[in-house]
Amino acid sequence: MGKPKEAAISINHLRVIRGKNLVIPDLSLEVPRGALVGLLGPSGSGKSTLMRSIVGSQIIAGGTITVLGLPGGTAPLRSRENLRFFASLVSAPKGDVQRVLDTVGLADCADRPVNTLSGGQLTRVSLSVALVGQPELLIMDEPTVGLDPVLRRDLWKVFHGLSRSGVTLVVSSHVMDEATRCDRLLIMRKGGILFDGTLPEMLKETATKDPDDAFLSLADRADSKEAAA
């Protein structure tokens, strides 16, 4: 047997304080390479803080984060309006801009200034910037929230295609029905992970039939344990 692949993301005992608030008290998890992971939970659960910690834009109070074998924050996320300019910055191969535009369905808008695009198209632009240079890992904070159903469906098709090509994706959302679109779920609440596994596993564990009821069951269980402690 070959040596098992190193995790795309490995977090050990992460602790984050924002202002005077302990946002993430003690969080550990691993994300395997090539997975399409949904980081789901209500607003204020700590999802954005966790994602900022992973990409290196959040000061952490303790613990370690390893991303693609390197300390978290060594490749901070950046954005540019001109894809060709950004492609030159990351030494992307010739033709990469067209590849990315085709992938996200923006080929017809290639010559239009960003400030003339719709909200849904701007979401695709942000994704296209992230795809230049063929990254191994994408961290996306609520990329589909507020989009119409057709655009949400189309973006998830893009996400699944990227996952099949070997890209690791972590996609956050406070909309629990996004769980049906993910290979694996990280359910977050109060700065901790309530559940880590697949949707069928979560439904079986909670004896429920849909993601919303499963989340409520997990939350009630956690509250009961907290009250009894």
pLDDT in tens, 140-160: 888 887 777 887 888 888 889
Backbone angles phi and psi of 225, in degrees to 5: -65, -40
Domain boundary among 135, 156, 182: 135
- Residue 184 has a pLDDT of 95
Pair (142, 218) in one structural domain: yes
Q: How many domains does the chain have?
A: 2
Across 52-66, 93-107, 188-202, the highest mean pLDDT is recorded for 188-202
Pair (17, 44) in one structural domain: yes
pLDDT digits (tens, 9 = 90+) for 67-99: 888 887 764 433 354 445 444 444 455 666 777
Pair (116, 60) in one structural domain: no
- Residue 83 has a pLDDT of 43
Residue 198: give its domain's CATH number. 3.40.50.300
Q: Look up residue 115 and give its two tokens.
A: 């400030």
Percent of residues in the chain assigned helix, strand, coil, to nearest 5: 40, 25, 35
Closest to 131 measured CA to CA, from 172, 99, 177: 99
pLDDT digits (tens, 9 = 90+) for 39-75: 999 999 999 999 999 988 899 999 999 988 888 776 4
Annotate 148-174 with DSSP letters as a single string.
Answer: -HHHHHHHHHHHHHHHHTT-EEEEEES
Q: For residues 25 and 37, what is the distance between their CA atoms, to the nearest angstrom?
A: 22
Which has more confidence, 103 or 61?
A: 61
Query: In the predicted model, what is the mean pLDDT of residues 111-128?
Result: 68
**Would the pLDDT of 38 be above 90?**
yes
- Residue 1 has a pLDDT of 47
Pair (49, 158) in one structural domain: yes
